Chain A
């Protein structure tokens, strides 16, 4: 093989065709690889590099916005807690006042009812007394009449009985 190259006689000749073939084949190989292997892969690698850079940027942004949001939420939480405390305190006060009012109202009402009931009782008693007094008076008059009639004389009694009987008959 060495002879082939270094004893490049005029008859044998250096295989220059090999060189030419290699150059052309290499050029074709480069073209094909550029189109079908290198191009797509390098593009993909670049895309990935861009995507990673982009993702990192957006992650940073997202982190910052999350931090802002966190702070906002913290502030909101604090104010909400204060509000809630205020509301609870207010409600407690209002409830206390209300309950006191209700209790005092109830007391007042109860007192009034008691008073009215007492007056009613008094009145009823008075009325009962009055009617009892009338009944007693009537009864005593009747009794007195009966007693008086008993002590009348016979004639008178007779007359009285007659009168009574007459009275019965009329009735």
Chain B
């Protein structure tokens, strides 16, 4: 992909407008939708409140199945926000692409590799931190790097590194591929006028439906793996 980007420098750091805009838009959508759903709560839930509670029960269920303890209770909110954000971000690029002068200003933020990687870094970093905090540094080293046998230390180190890499790249790959294929379908549609436009339309519908599914699955998988990685380090 030879995509152009528009960036600016601030305090020696490089910022990309598309990514920043995409993240901001996704977060605003998450915030507005969730606050709207949490508006006017009642003891007997109806409509949107039911949906929100189902979502919360869903993410709580992910946490409980891996971390059924006090630590898990504190992780529930993170799981909820992580799931909501990744889910919305994944779908955003499928629903809306805003392209000005060859620069895509609005897309899935997760199709920028840095974003899934930083999310994965946060998740994995947090799992290590919680492990040290809960079971102590000695137990952490023993549990994470020297088990089941001390001579597996190199493999365990690689394992920790790859679990971080795969967590980020899995999300990035799926969403990025989805957008690439969608772009290819668009190219196909434009290639020979009406002859390719009509079949491409159906192709695009099928692919978008599939990508919506993929986006949801990837959000779920990301949260589940975060909890699994945290859970296995706490044992």
Contact = CB atoms under 8 A, between A and B. Distances in A.
B85 A44 contact: no
B141 interface: no
B184 interface: no
A1 B81 contact: no
B82 to A, nearest CB: 9
Interface string B15-32: 110011001100100110
Nearest to B8: A17
B100 interface: no
Contacts of A2: 1, 113
B81 A30 contact: yes
Looking at B38, B43, B119, the one whose CB has the most chain A CB atoms below 10 A away is: B38
Given A2-B113, A19-B118, A51-B43, A25 B1 contact: no
A117 to B, nearest CB: 92
Majority secondary structure, A binding face: helix
A133 interface: no
Interface residues of B, number: 46
A16 B81 contact: no
Given A32-B31, A44-B43, A45-B56, A18 B16 contact: yes
B157 interface: no
A123 B77 CA distance: 124
Majority secondary structure, B binding face: helix
A37 B37 contact: yes
Contacts of A47: 43
A14 B3 contact: no
Contact of A17 (B14, B53, B84): B14
B114 A5 contact: yes
B80 A38 contact: yes
A4 B5 contact: yes
Nearest to A2: B1
Given A38-B77, A41-B38, A5 B113 contact: yes
Contacts of A40: 38, 41
A33 B15 contact: no
B115 A37 contact: no
B34 to A, nearest CB: 4
Contacts of B122: 23, 26
19 contacts: A1-B3, A1-B111, A1-B113, A3-B2, A5-B113, A13-B14, A15-B15, A15-B16, A16-B14, A18-B16, A18-B114, A22-B114, A22-B115, A30-B77, A33-B35, A41-B52, A41-B53, A44-B42, A47-B43
Interface of B: 1-3, 5, 7, 9-10, 13-16, 19-20, 23-24, 27, 30-31, 34-35, 37-38, 41-43, 45, 49, 52-53, 56, 77-78, 80-81, 84-85, 109, 111-115, 118-119, 122, 176
Given A17-B13, A19-B118, 19 more contacts: A1-B1, A1-B3, A13-B14, A17-B10, A18-B15, A20-B13, A26-B85, A26-B122, A28-B27, A29-B85, A32-B31, A33-B31, A36-B35, A36-B38, A37-B35, A40-B41, A41-B49, A48-B43, A51-B43
